[in-house]
Amino acid sequence: MKKPTSQLQRELRQARPFRSPQQEAGIALVKTADHVRRQVAHVIEPQGITPQQYNVLRILRGAGKEGMPTLEIARRMIERTPGITRLLDRLEAKRLVRRERCPTDRRQVLCWIDPPGIELLKGLDEPVASAEQAALRGLPARDLERLIRLLDAVRGEVE
């Protein structure tokens, strides 16, 4: 049996080579994203919310007093989800957000973060930042800047 040659092959305990560098890069990207996501989720989930709910709360905090339409929240999500309404239902049940029909366009629903949501985010800001730093601690600033540019290029081709 041939020995794995790349770090990813060793992590996956995969003896056969990848079909292409693109396949290896794609799998490495997904595995790395999962690593970072788990580090952050470890901090967020004990607070009773999911990473997707955390993302919605951050988006609404950034929206400020004007609030934001539901569909715009969905467009801004880091991980796109078809169930934005259910996500908002759960956050509303926890009294972290509120929703109202737009008075000028009844087809739109506007959303705002409520004070308990703001307080929850304040308590998570530093622990999440620490988890993100820990997840990427192996990269010096120069390499982080390069990684950001490379990931931008990948997304630019897809989107």
Distance CA 140, CA 45 (A): 28
Tell me whether residue 1 is in a domain: no
Give residue 1's pLDDT band: very low, low, confident or very high (50, 70, 90).
Answer: very low
Q: Is 41 a member of any domain?
A: yes
Task: Tell me the pLDDT tens digit for each residue of 4-45.
Answer: 578 888 888 888 888 998 998 999 999 999 999 999 999 999
- Give me the pLDDT at residue 159, please: 56
Q: Which two tokens stand for residue 85?
A: 């309404």
* Average pLDDT of the chain, as a whole number: 90
What is residue 137's three-state secondary structure?
coil
CATH code of residue 71: 1.10.10.10
Q: How confident is the model at residue 3 (pLDDT cuts 50, 70, 90)?
A: low
The answer as to whether 51 is a domain residue is yes
What are 40-95's pLDDT values in tens digits? 999 999 999 999 999 999 999 999 999 999 999 999 999 888 789 999 999 999 99
The Cα–Cα gap between 121 and 113 comes to 10
Phi, psi of 110 (to 5 degrees): -95, 145
Residue range(s) defining the domain that contains residue 132: 8-13+20-158
Helix (H, G, I), strand (E, B) or coil at 138: coil
Q: What is the pLDDT of residue 128?
A: 96
Q: Residue 105 — very low, low, confident or very high, per pLDDT cuts 50/70/90?
A: confident
Total domains, the chain: 1
Q: Is 74 part of any domain?
A: yes
